[in-house]
Amino acid sequence: MKKQIFTYCLTAIIVITSFNVSAQTKLDKRFVGIEAEINKILKDNHAAGVAVAVVEKNKVIFAKGFGYRDVENKLPVTANTQFAIGSCTKAFTASVLGILQKEKSIDFDKPVTTYLPDLKFYTSDLTNHITLRDMMSHRTGLPRHDLSWYIAPDTRDNLVKRIQYMEPSAELRQIWQYNNFMYLLQGVLAEKLTGKSWESNVESKIFSKIGMTNSNFSVKDLANYKEPALGYNVIKDSVIHKTPYYDIAGMGPAGAINSTVMDMSQWLKVWINGGKLDTVEIIPASYIAEATSSQMIMAPGTPTTEKPDIQFSTYGFAWMMASYKGHYRVEHGGNIDGFSASTSFFPSDSIGIVVLVNQNGSSVPSIVRNTITDRVLGLKYFDWNADMLKAKAKAKEKAKEAEKVSTSNQVNNTKLSHALSEYVGMYSNEAYGKFEIFVKGDSLFAKLKNQNWWMEQFHYDIFRPYNTEEGIDTADKSPIRFQFNTGLKGDIESASLFNFEPAIPAPIKFKRTNATKDLTADDLKKYVSSFSLAGADIKTYLKENVLYVLVPGQPEYELVPVGNHKFDFKKVAGYAVHFEVNDKGDLLSLSFVQPNGNFKALKK
């Protein structure tokens, strides 16, 4: 899933090793010394904790926790600690369809509208031709559009309705582009075919059949679990701090599962053994073969000088394939606020590895996975931790250079075009939902469903956002920019968002409407009066604690308070009245704000 845009942390961490809770009587010689390696990886990457499990054929040969699931209370990670697994969820969602492919004869190559007739994409051509196979292998032509579900989470049905407004950035089947909404749709399709929720489908068709008794689907269930991991993030290179759980119930099929490495070991056994657990078929073998075969090229995947034995990069159904030092690897990662994960297996070697970490956007899962892979498969040693630290340092320098370029374009000492209060309102987009801009103190803030962003003026009417959930860290520079746009009437009419997704170079425009304000009857009474405009008598009055304005020869108009002595016409878009009040609070005039101009009526 998408990485959290801004995260914060305050405390340092001491890495410890928890007691091994799996039933190991004798340590496999391939894991001798692994504790020291993993502890060093945690320390060097400033990670709170990690749980690891390794499966060979039908047996868990290693399962252990390291570090803390709760840093503040020094609670250790064990093999039964529960983590959010993020996009490792996708394999469960797609597998439900794999099971239904056999049970209900679903055709992956028919247009998906065969099963979801009300579904619409951006163009009729896409609507008529996108198939389940396209959705499962991320080749629909749609980029991520992740800002939609991230800043404005909603119900599953409402999120699906947004898809028709999401513009593609490539032709159908032209390139691979990861898209969480396509896995949301798969969950919704399963719901329609079975009459059960996505959660019920995964529970009944997978969890209950393979003994995943310590797995669930919501942050509420995660928090109430007997041994939950808290999520953490790193700022200022080394400072660790708890980050709130992110509720993605609406996008559940794309990444809402929480699990333990012991439960995930059961899942790996199914995939290692061709869809069976012991002798019981859980997932059809025909689906397993397709899911772990190349359906779409992700990237060139050519070997490099530094890593000549890691080759090709393709995608199946919720799995990524590569050649790792001559071994066929199937893998998928997962990221959601405060958590990172990796689930992988080597079909020809009957080996599976799951790594769960309570660190946001972490490289620890891949470092630990590769370190263990080399040990289990008896491959030549490579210092994956040092390699990643070197890559991080390069990325940091690159980010600094990008910030220098951005700052070089900044114009200093510019002023806003409007008073802060005039930027206030609701901003909406059919594909991306809505957010509210409000004023607090001397600053603008964006109110999202799950968090608030402080808006730092970059220059003119362009702002840079910072998450405020754990305090404002101005060292964490976001590339996102908000540009507020002025309309012909002189009002702020929209905000354009830039730089939030590389595949979407064009800005996304959010239309502004005034946010309604609750006023008491006493508050409204001060706007009741008579006014004169070009000889016409204008009246404002209260009726059942609602303010109305009456112009001779016209119907009465109900007014909706939007703040700063301004009221919108409730049923006439683009029309408003603005009352002028002096410093003592005395009413002076009323101005009609209309598309054809402003007209001032003086108080009698």
* Span 365-387, pLDDT tens digits: 999 999 999 999 999 999 999 99
Q: What is the pLDDT of residue 7?
A: 35
Among candidate residues 128, 131, 123, 89, the one with its CA nearest the CA of residue 106: 131
Structure tokens at 561: 């308070």
Of 88-92, 130-134, 496-500, the least confident: 496-500
Question: Do both 507 and 580 map to the same domain?
Answer: no
Q: Is residue 184 part of a domain?
A: no
470: pLDDT confidence band, cut at 50, 70 and 90?
Answer: low
Question: Over the stretch 163-190, which tens digit does the pLDDT of each residue have?
Answer: 999 999 999 999 999 999 999 999 999 9
Structure tokens at 433: 């939902």
State the average pLDDT over residues 447-460. 91
Which residue(s) pair with 464 in the sheet? Answer: 456
Q: Is residue 311 part of a domain?
A: yes
Q: What is the pLDDT of residue 474?
A: 66
595: pLDDT confidence band, cut at 50, 70 and 90?
Answer: confident
Report CA torsion sign: 8, 12, 15, 18: negative
Q: Is residue 170 part of a domain?
A: no
Q: Is residue 66 part of a domain?
A: yes
Report CA torsion sign: 119, 120, 121, 123: positive
Of 137-141, 259-263, 469-473, 534-538, the least confident: 469-473
Is 1's pLDDT higher than 60? Answer: no
584: pLDDT confidence band, cut at 50, 70 and 90?
Answer: confident
Q: Is residue 208 part of a domain?
A: no
Q: What is the pLDDT of residue 16?
A: 31
Q: Higher model confidence: residue 407 or residue 188? A: 188
Collapse the DSSP code of 348 into the 3-class scheme (helix H, G, I; strand E, B; otherwise coil) and give the result.
coil
- Which one-letter DSSP state was computed for residue 158? H
Burial state string for 79-114 with b = 16 or more CB within 10 A and e = fewer than 16: bbbbbbbbbbbbbbbbbbbbbbbeeeebebeebbbe
Q: What is the pLDDT of residue 22?
A: 42
Question: Do both 231 and 369 map to the same domain?
Answer: yes
Q: Is residue 38 part of a domain?
A: yes
Is 9's pLDDT higher than 70? Answer: no
Question: Do both 281 and 360 map to the same domain?
Answer: yes
Distance, in Å, from the CA atom of 544 to the CA atom of 517, rounded to the nearest integer, reads 17
Question: Over the stretch 208-221, which tens digit does the pLDDT of each residue have?
Answer: 999 999 999 999 99
**CATH code at 363?**
3.40.710.10
- Mean pLDDT for the chain overall: 92
Domain boundary among 485, 513, 541: 513
For residue 410, give every residue at least 6 positions away whose Cβ sits within 8 Å of its Cβ, in sequence order, or none: 458, 459
Of 50-64, 201-215, 301-315, the least confident: 301-315
Question: Do both 272 and 378 map to the same domain?
Answer: yes
Question: Do both 539 and 471 map to the same domain?
Answer: no
549: pLDDT confidence band, cut at 50, 70 and 90?
Answer: very high
Q: Is residue 458 part of a domain?
A: yes
Domain boundary among 397, 429, 456: 397
Is 313's pLDDT higher than 50? Answer: yes
Is 395's pLDDT higher than 60? Answer: yes
21: pLDDT confidence band, cut at 50, 70 and 90?
Answer: very low
User: How many percent of the chain have pLDDT more than 70?
Assistant: 95
Question: Do both 351 and 286 map to the same domain?
Answer: yes
Q: What is the pLDDT of residue 24?
A: 46
Is 2's pLDDT higher than 60? Answer: no
**CATH code at 445?**
2.40.128.50
Q: What is the pLDDT of residue 242?
A: 92
Domain boundary among 492, 513, 534: 513
Which residue(s) pair with 463 in the sheet? Answer: 457, 482
Q: What is the pLDDT of residue 312?
A: 93
Question: Do both 254 and 391 map to the same domain?
Answer: yes
**Residue 511, Cβ neighbours under 10 Å: how many?**
15
Q: What is the pLDDT of residue 517?
A: 73
Q: Higher model confidence: residue 5 or residue 301? A: 301
570: pLDDT confidence band, cut at 50, 70 and 90?
Answer: confident
State the average pLDDT over residues 279-288. 97
Q: What is the pLDDT of residue 5?
A: 41
Question: Do both 385 and 505 map to the same domain?
Answer: no
Q: What is the pLDDT of residue 408?
A: 84
Is 401's pLDDT higher than 80? Answer: yes
Strand 576-581 with 587-594, pairing: antiparallel
Question: Over the stretch 108-148, which tens digit does the pLDDT of each residue have?
Answer: 999 999 999 999 999 999 999 999 999 999 999 999 999 99
Number of domains in the chain: 3
State the average pLDDT over residues 214-241. 94
State the average pLDDT over residues 243-257. 96
Question: Do both 332 and 437 map to the same domain?
Answer: no
Question: Do both 235 and 257 map to the same domain?
Answer: yes
Of 381-395, 419-433, 460-474, 492-506, the least confident: 460-474
Question: Over the stretch 420-450, which tens digit does the pLDDT of each residue have?
Answer: 989 999 999 999 999 999 999 999 999 988 8
Question: Over the stretch 499-527, which tens digit does the pLDDT of each residue have?
Answer: 988 899 889 999 998 777 778 889 999 99
> Residue 543's domain spans which residues?
521-603
User: How many percent of the chain have pLDDT more than 90?
Assistant: 79
Q: Is residue 72 part of a domain?
A: yes
